[in-house]
Amino acid sequence: MTDYQTFFIQAYWWLSLLGGIHCLGVALFIRYSYQGQATENKSLAGIVGLVGFYFLTGLLTQEFSPIPIHLLLSLCYPVYFLLMPLLYIYSKQSLHGNNYQANFFKHFMAAMLAAILICSAIFFGIGINLQASNNTINSLAELSHINALALILPSLILIQAVFYFTLIYQLLMQAKINNEPLLSSMRLRWITILAIGMLINWLVRFTIVYFPFYSDGMVSIFPQAITRLSLLVTVYILAFYGLHQVTRAAYLSGRTIPRSSNSLNSQQILDADELSYLQDVIADDDADKHKDSTT
């Protein structure tokens, strides 16, 4: 192994570590500190947490894995089926609020089926070579003899991603047709930017990882590092854009406060009986003053 390859592998490890820590920290902040514990915030925290989990999988090596590494990576696949359903649920919750009650069982069914499939394959030894942990994989043909699920599950994840991106697109187009107030339009733009950011990363991953993987069968760490770097840059861009949107929303919400305070001041403080009593007291006081002036 050359010095260049060693440096690149170490950079890949640190990129995975820092990306995972940052994303998990942002997820915890959104979940427990950011504007209370709204339902859509929980979904957004789940999305960022899954991105952090994806980063941390880059830290898995054969030396530190409690089980053969190809089995451990296979067990991680069901988690990836949760990302796109959570993105769709978050988008719909943000646009419809409490009027939308997500059916998590329906949206997470693909992840549960993938978990059952992988656990069954490992337990019964179907499509997985349990004794192949020390084999070096350089081509797709070699991988198919070790873990057949590595060929099937990525294609299923891509199909799921296309399906949910289509649903999100239809949701955004329907919301755009309706006349939305200013704050709702800002939320619509935020969801659009979030969906576009995730779509770009899916296209990058498909172009430099999946497409070469299924075409010529070459396996390399370089495409994985590029996808992680692209995803980390996207997370930072979304964080800065989200902070800008929050600041603008707070400013627009603050402009409505004087109107509400004026409306409170314009309301009648005393009821009718109290006003009548006060008028009688003032009238009696005026009458006493008039008698004093005449005398």
Distance CA(190)–CA(44), nearest Å, equals 12
Task: Output phi, psi for 218, to 5 deg.
Answer: -85, 135
Instruction: Name 128's bridge partners.
Output: 147
77: Cα within 13 Å, side-chain hemisphere: 26
* The pLDDT value given to residue 164: 94
* The pLDDT value given to residue 137: 54
* The pLDDT value given to residue 166: 93
- What residues in the chain have per-residue pLDDT under 50? 256-267
Distance CA(245)–CA(247), nearest Å, equals 5
pTM: 0.75
* The pLDDT value given to residue 108: 93
Helix extents (H) in the chain: 3-32, 39-56, 69-80, 83-96, 104-107, 109-124, 140-146, 149-177, 182-205, 211-215, 221-254, 257-266, 272-294
Task: Output phi, psi for 139, to 5 deg.
Answer: -150, 165
Q: Is 219 exposed, middle or buried (0-12, 13-18, 19+ CB in 10 A)?
A: middle
* The pLDDT value given to residue 249: 65
* The pLDDT value given to residue 138: 53
* The pLDDT value given to residue 262: 46
Please name the residues in contact with 104: beta carbons below 8 A apart, sequence gap of 6 or more.
89
* The pLDDT value given to residue 113: 92
